[in-house]
Every structure is written in structure tokens, then in C-alpha cells.
Amino acid sequence: MPTLAAAAAPVLAHQSTLRESNLAVVLRCVCASPEPVSRAGVASATGLTRSTVSRLVDELVAGGLVDEGTARLAGPGRPATPLRPARRICAVGLQVNAAHVAARLIDLRGEVVAESRSEPDLVGSDPARALGLLGGHLAEVLPAAPEHGRIVGAGLALPGVVDASGERLLRAPNLDWRDVEPVAGLRGQLHDIPLTLGNEANLGAHAFAQPAPGRRGRSSHFVYVSGEIGIGGAVVTDSLVQSGLHGFAGEIGHMPFRPGGDPCPCGSDGCLERYAGRLAMTRRAGLPPSTTLAELGQRAEEGHAGSREAIELAAEALGVVLAGVVNLLDVPTIVLGGEIGDLAPRIAPVVEARVRARVMAAGWMPLEVCQDPDDVAGATGGALVHLTQVVTSPAVVLAAGGGEAC
């Protein structure tokens, strides 16, 4: 059946492409399963023959991408050797935003091997100072890498616009940074580990879409709202983050809620961020700007009228804007992440009701508003992007000699 989506451009295929593709199929199958699987299990899951799977798995084991367990999987018939993603393959996730600095080491199983973080106030900070802090956390985390391990990359999540090459931060309004290239500042700790930059919300969304390398999350089509001081966002379709032609996609905080309303530093007015961003909400509630959204929720709980009104207006604004997004993109799930996730138990039902009332196809589709519990989702996503890359193109890692120690 012809569909609009079936038109992706094919790529030239050699025979080696075939092997690379099937290596990826096998590795993904191993990674996708939460339980260890056998060679035969991979074969029946993928449709490849047992002999082919065996050869590909041997190659992955030799390259250090897959671990063969010693215990056997019981059951009738010959017991199977369990296969799991290798622990020795790791990636680093880094995050700097106005309130967090964090470093995480995550392995190919998607497990957090080590973590180091702090909560300084970095509004209007000097990039060098922040990167110094980050370097400290990084240095704490790196030694946790397994012996003979290999760190395939590092991903740094930043609350701003990153250029397409993934090397330069163009602008981060809430940090008041412009044109920062963090690679240089971190080279000392990173040695030869490649560092890529990404927008915090985009990376958080990636982590929610694929909570472990090669594994699908609970939703494949969603819009992710990352609320901190401002509001970022990301659109995920078919488990892939839509980052746009230049990588600038996701500025949901600057979609219009009340055009002609509150002026916004972005140059526009009535932006969502002016109603549902932390700064706007605390100001409306009559609380100091350093108040966290969790505290704001607490105050509302206690009956503080200003806080209640601020939260109600924020939920209204989110509902209106997100309904527009759902109408435009047919995404049945809305994920609240970052600090605004802390308000989710309070506002999710309201947002959901508002959205449902304004969505054309609400009668034919499910709708759900949920929370991303990871409070450094950007860092998690930064590591997972590199690990997902390994699952997608295992041949690259194999060729690079998976045996290098770190």
C-alpha cells in the first residue's frame, strides 16, 4: 500500500553494506531485549538463519560489543548461551543548564555506571567557570569506566541553539552565553573522546524515546516539553527526534499563546514561555525568581493564591499551545520534562483536558500527558545518542578496533 512515508531515498548497497546492515540488525535485537537472548532467539526474531546469526554474533563478541554469559538459559533442549550488550562500551553524558551541572557514564545496556552532579546558579555565568565545574564532574566519572573499556563519545546538553555541526553553541538566553565552543575547554579531560553538543530538550526527548540504546520507549510519537527557566521542547516521530533542517527545531517556548501579549526577549510577544516558564510563573505568583517549580507547587498546595493562579495560567497556556502541536503533528503523547515535570502531577490532568477539548481528531486518537522522571535527561540523552550510534553502525566501532582501552 503506497504511503507518504515510503519515499525515503535508498542508498547504494555493496555486499559489505549488507553485512553491516545485518550486524546492526543483530546488535539491535540483542540491545532491544531487556532479558538476555540466545543466538537462536535472535535468529527467530530477525528472520536471519541461525548460521548467519552465529557468524555475526561471533564477530560482535570478538569486537567486544556483545558479552557472552557463562550461565546457561534453561529450558527444554540444549541450553543457550545468553547474549547481552557489552558493559565495556560506554558513553559520557554531560549537561549544563541554569541550575544543573552533571556528568553521567552510561554503558551499552543503558545502565548508569557513574554519575556526578551539582546544582550551582549559572544564570548569566561565565562559560569558563561552568565548563570548569563540568570538567570536575567529568573527571570524577571517567575512572568508573570498566577495565579495557571503551568510551565511544560524549554528548553535552545545553539549553540553547546549537549549530548544525554540533560543535558550537550559538545562543543560550538563560545562561546568557553566545558563541561558545566547549570542546576546547574540555579537551584536557576528554583526550580523544569525540564531543558533540545538543539542545537539552532534543537530547532529553531522545532519551525518552530510546531509554536504552536500540530499545524503544513507551511512546514513539510525542512532543517533549522541557521546562526550566525558559521552555524548550522537541518533537519525536517514529522514535526519532525531529531536529529540523538546521537543528534549530523544538523552540516550543516561543510558540504564540497570546500574540500581542507579554513581550518576550526573543523579540516576539505572547510566547508560551511568558506564561509557563519558571521566571514568568514565579513573577506572577509574587515569589522570588529563584523559587523552584516544586516550591511553587508546594505554595499552591498550601493555598497561596498567586501560586495557584500562576499554575492555572501556565496549564491553560500549555494546553492551548500543545493542542496546536497535536493538531499539526498527530502526536498522541505529551511528555513534561525538566523542572516542569515536577508540576506534572498537578497540571497534567488540566493540560490533558485542555488539549482534548481543542484537538480535531481527539475522538479518534488516544491522548496522554505524562512526566519524564529523569531530572538530567539531557545528559542521559547526550550519552545515549553516541551509544545509539554504535547500535546503528556497529561496523564503525569494530573497524576502529573495539579493543582499545580507555
Which chain residues interact with DNA by CB under 7 A? 13-16, 18-19, 22, 38-41, 47-52, 54-56, 58, 72, 74-81
The grid cell for 345 is 502531577
Task: Give the number of other Cβ atoms within 10 Å of residue 388's Cβ.
Answer: 24
Residue choice 30, 96, 280, 331 for contact with a copy of itself (CB under 8 A):
331
The residue assigned the cell 538530567 is 376
**Cα separation, 128 vs 362, whole angstroms:** 48
CA distance 154 to 406: 13
Residue 379 binds a copy of itself (CB under 8 A): no
Site membership for a copy of itself, residue 6 (CB under 8 A): yes
Question: Residue 39 or residue 100: which is nearer to DNA going by CB?
Answer: 39
The nearer residue to DNA, 76 or 366, going by C-beta atoms, is 76
**Residue selected from 54, 125, 268, 371 as contacting a copy of itself according to rule CB under 8 A:** 268
- CB-based contact 336:348 (threshold 8 Å): yes
Contacts of a copy of itself in 31-70 (CB under 8 A): 46-48
The residue ranges of DSSP E strands in 200-260, in sequence order, are 222-227, 231-237, 240-242
Rg (CA), the chain: 23
Residue nearer to a copy of itself on the CB measure, 143 or 267: 267
* Interface pattern 177-216 for a copy of itself (x via CB under 8 A): -----------------x-x-x---xx--x---x------
Dihedral of alpha carbons 174, 290, 259, 363, sign = positive
**Least distance (Å) from DNA to the CB of residue 9?**
17
Type of residue numbered 151: I
| Of 51 and 290, CB closest to a copy of itself | 51
84: part of which helix (H) or strand (E)?
Answer: strand 83-85
Rounded distance between C-alpha atoms, residue 168 and residue 164, angstroms: 8
Type of residue numbered 162: V
- Applying the rule CB under 8 A, the residues between 94 and 153 that interact with a copy of itself are 153
Query: Candidates 9-17, 185-193, 281-289, 307-315 — which segment interacts with a copy of itself by CB under 8 A?
Result: 9-17
Please state the closest distance from residue 400 (CB atom) to DNA, in A: 17
By CB under 8 A, tell whether 308 contacts a copy of itself: no
How far apart CA 6 and CA 217 sit, in angstroms, is 23
Q: How far is the CB of 343 from a copy of itself (least distance, A)?
A: 21
The sign of the dihedral angle between the CA atoms of 288, 266, 163, 7 is positive
Q: Looking at 60, 131, 235, 296, which residue binds a copy of itself (CB under 8 A)?
A: 235
Q: How far apart are CA 300 and CA 286, in angstroms?
A: 12
Shortest separation between residue 208's beta carbon and DNA, angstroms? 32
Q: Which of 236, 235, 227, 234 shows the shortest CA–CA distance to 317? A: 227
16 binds a copy of itself (CB under 8 A): no
Question: By C-beta, is 85 or 93 nearer to DNA?
Answer: 85
Q: Nearest approach, Cβ of 386 to DNA (angstroms)? A: 25
Q: Which is nearer to DNA, 12 or 245 (CB)?
A: 12
